[in-house]
Structure 1
């Protein structure tokens, strides 16, 4: 499995507020099912970051497009494969 960092920059503050509950449900589902490693917002209000676990870029893109923030055009997205390095 690979890790993918997905930046979610704000497109619409209003739509972000409107779809936040659905977005949070989506994230919780992903964490519970094991395809989201971590997530969080940027404290400056510019958006957030989600770390997905997937086999390929196509797999993660399919999940990202299901996020209500993306589907409802409240947020954009930028995907980068991410190499996790942890202290031994």
Structure 2
């Protein structure tokens, strides 16, 4: 299983607000299916980030294209395979 970081830059703020509930429902479904590791928005309004778990880039691209934000033109997308590093030492 690999991780893929998907940046969802805002293309249309009004559409982002209009389709937010549908987008969040979509993410909840993918999370229940075990396909999402983490997700969240950028407070500056730039968009959001979803970290998917998948076997291939093609799988993730297919899922992303099913997101209401993408279907409705509210957001764009940029996908990158992500090599997660764990057990980082954080300053106290």
Q: TM-score, normalised by structure 2?
A: 0.93
Task: Compute the RMSD of aligned alpha carbons.
Answer: 0.9
The aligned residue for residue 50 of structure 1 is 50
In structure 2, how many angstroms separate the alpha carbons of the residues matched to 1:72 and 1:2?
A: 28
Which structure 2 residue ranges, 5 or more long, are not aligned? none
Q: Which has the larger radius of gyration?
A: 2
In structure 1, how many angstroms separate the alpha carbons of the residues matched to 2:65 and 2:54?
A: 14
Which structure 1 residue ranges, 5 or more long, are not aligned? none
Give the number of equivalent residue pairs. Answer: 88
- Residue 18 of structure 1: how far off its partner (Å): 0.6
- Residue 17 of structure 1: how far off its partner (Å): 0.5
Q: TM-score, normalised by structure 1?
A: 0.97
The aligned residue for residue 17 of structure 1 is 17
